[in-house]
């Protein structure tokens, strides 16, 4: 059964609130990062931005210690404050497009991760796990929550709404295209009710944050071998944001490839026709409206690709996945793209206008061919995780995209 816990959050003061939290560090261009830090120096980005123009050569551990020192400066200057009572935090974000997400900021159990109560659908890379583990061990805080989802649970949702009414709204602020609200749930009965309901949920599912959770588990395993029982064991938990499956939004994550692996367009179409039923859909953007109807754009025309019945394998959820079909039946055997994480011949496009972007980039000659995929459903994601299967990389583009620094969990 799933276990979640309240925690004493470190969060921005009222004065720093508006500009403190940040998008993922990697989502900023160098110019955006520079402009943001110049305009708003008292932000989470200021804590984690590691200056590379230091006069001394420093290794990663030393640079991470610089992050820790900057974090402590923000505490000392009251830019960041720490709550004195452990709480759950209801976090709600409303977007200009009408989407709204509401869930619980809490800490989850590393034990649940290790025993597969918290289920995964993505393979992790050991080097990235170790890098982030070292980072956590040095900075001793966790500011980027792992996004977890769970099957809809009406009783739990009613308890969360009741807790919201019984709680103090502590923060409201706005960022581009979004409004954010945060409530502190510290009433003992509300905490008990929410924890009890989660204990009746058999499994939680990682929607986003596989490497962060894996790194937390790795750190806990190392700490247990060296720490005394009386010492701080907050490393046995990690920061999460939990929302029901009906609120999770999964969008298509499309592909463009630079070349046809030495084939002409005619030769390429002939090869894929052995595996797929290929239908010409004309010059206008063709969007896949169901699974196994992959959209393809090449040489000014859109096509529909459906795996031939003789090639179909419906024995598991993973085998029916469009990303898996595309990878195993086309990208690897025909275009010789085996490692989609590192191969520089392939890139990814997402968003409402992604098919138009695919057409534009292929027409410019930046890429030779593009593929549009039908979005994976949340229930499919859960079924794959339940079967201990692993999706191909870049299979899902998931919302909400969580900001860092809304609540910080100290390790």
Could you write out the DSSP letters of every residue in 73-93?
HHHHTTSEEE-SS-BEEEEEE
pTM for this prediction: 0.91
Beta strand ranges found along 176-308 (DSSP E):
178-185, 204-208, 237-244, 249-251, 253-257, 276-282, 294-298, 301-307
How far apart, in whole angstroms, are the C-alpha atoms of residue 16 and residue 330? 50
Whole-number pLDDT of residue 292: 87
Of 6, 238, 248, the C-alpha closest to 150 is: 248
Whole-number pLDDT of residue 231: 59
**Cβ of 70: how many Cβ atoms within 10 Å?**
15
**What string of pLDDT tens digits covers the 411 residues of the chain?**
899 999 999 999 999 999 999 988 877 888 888 888 888 899 999 999 865 444 445 678 788 999 999 999 999 999 999 999 999 999 999 988 888 999 999 999 999 999 999 999 998 889 999 999 999 999 999 999 999 999 999 999 999 999 999 998 899 999 888 999 999 999 999 999 999 999 999 999 999 999 999 999 999 999 988 776 655 689 999 999 999 999 999 998 999 999 999 999 999 999 999 999 999 999 999 998 888 899 999 999 999 999 999 999 888 888 999 999 999 999 999 999 998 888 999 999 987 789 999 999 999 999 999 999 999 999 999 999 999 998 888 888 999 999 999 999 999
> What do you get for the CA distance between the two ends of the chain, in Å?
24
Angle between helices 210-224 and 126-139 (to 10 degrees): 60
Beta strand ranges found along 283-331 (DSSP E):
294-298, 301-307
Q: Which residues pair with 296 in a beta bridge?
A: 303, 371
Whole-number pLDDT of residue 305: 97
Whole-number pLDDT of residue 50: 67
- Report whether 357 contacts 181 (CB < 8 A): no
Token pair of 264 as six digits = 């002409």
**Cβ of 15: how many Cβ atoms within 10 Å?**
10
- Report whether 35 contacts 26 (CB < 8 A): no
Q: How far is CA 307 from CA 154, 262, 320, 325, in A?
A: 39, 23, 10, 8
Whole-number pLDDT of residue 53: 45
How far apart, in whole angstroms, are the C-alpha atoms of residue 40 and residue 353? 31
- Report whether 245 contacts 151 (CB < 8 A): yes
Whole-number pLDDT of residue 227: 73
Of 10, 150, 175, the C-alpha closest to 83 is: 10
Helix (H) or strand (E) holding 248: none
Token pair of 81 as six digits = 């404050």
């Amino acid at each position: 059964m799933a276990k979640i816990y309240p925690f004493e959050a470190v969060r921005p003061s009222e004065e720093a609130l508006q500009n403190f939290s940040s998008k993922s560090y990697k989502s900023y261009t160098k110019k955006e990062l520079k402009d943001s830090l110049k305009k708003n120096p008292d932000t989470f980005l200021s804590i984690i931005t590691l200056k590379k123009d230091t006069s001394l050569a420093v290794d990663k551990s030393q640079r991470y210690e610089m992050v820790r020192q900057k974090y402590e400066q923000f505490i000392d200057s009251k830019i960041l404050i720490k709550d004195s009572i452990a709480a759950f935090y209801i976090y709600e974000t409303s977007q200009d497009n009408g989407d709204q997400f509401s869930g619980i900021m809490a800490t989850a159990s590393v034990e649940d991760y290790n025993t597969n109560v918290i289920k995964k659908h993505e393979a992790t890379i050991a080097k990235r796990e170790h890098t982030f583990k070292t980072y956590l061990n040095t900075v001793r805080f966790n500011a980027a929550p792992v996004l977890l989802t769970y099957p809809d649970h009406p009783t739990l949702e009613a308890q969360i709404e009741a807790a919201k009414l019984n709680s103090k709204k502590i923060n409201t602020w706005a960022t581009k295209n979004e409004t954010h609200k945060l409530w502190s749930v510290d009433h003992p009965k509300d905490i008990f009710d929410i924890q009890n309901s989660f204990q009746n949920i058999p499994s939680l599912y990682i929607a986003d944050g596989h490497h962060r959770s894996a790194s937390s588990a790795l750190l806990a395993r190392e700490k247990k071998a060296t720490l005394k029982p009386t010492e701080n064991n907050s490393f046995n938990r990690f920061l999460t944001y939990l929302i029901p499956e009906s609120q999770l939004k999964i969008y298509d994550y499309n592909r463009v490839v630079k070349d046809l692996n030495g084939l002409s367009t005619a030769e390429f179409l002939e090869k894929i026709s052995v595996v797929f039923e290929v239908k010409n859909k004309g010059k206008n953007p063709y969007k896949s409206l169901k699974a196994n109807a992959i959209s393809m754009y090449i040489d000014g025309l859109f096509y529909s690709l459906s795996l031939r019945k003789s090639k179909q394998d419906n024995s598991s959820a993973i085998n029916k996945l469009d990303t898996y079909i595309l990878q195993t039946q086309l990208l690897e055997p025909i275009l010789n793209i085996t490692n989609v994480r590192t191969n520089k011949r392939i890139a990814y496009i997402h968003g409402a206008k992604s098919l138009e972007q695919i057409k534009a980039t292929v027409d410019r000659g930046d890429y030779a061919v593009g593929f549009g995929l039908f979005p994976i459903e949340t229930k499919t994601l859960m079924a794959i995780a339940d079967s201990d299967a692993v999706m191909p990389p870049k299979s899902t583009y998931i919302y909400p995209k969580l900001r860092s620094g809304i609540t910080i969990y100290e390790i």
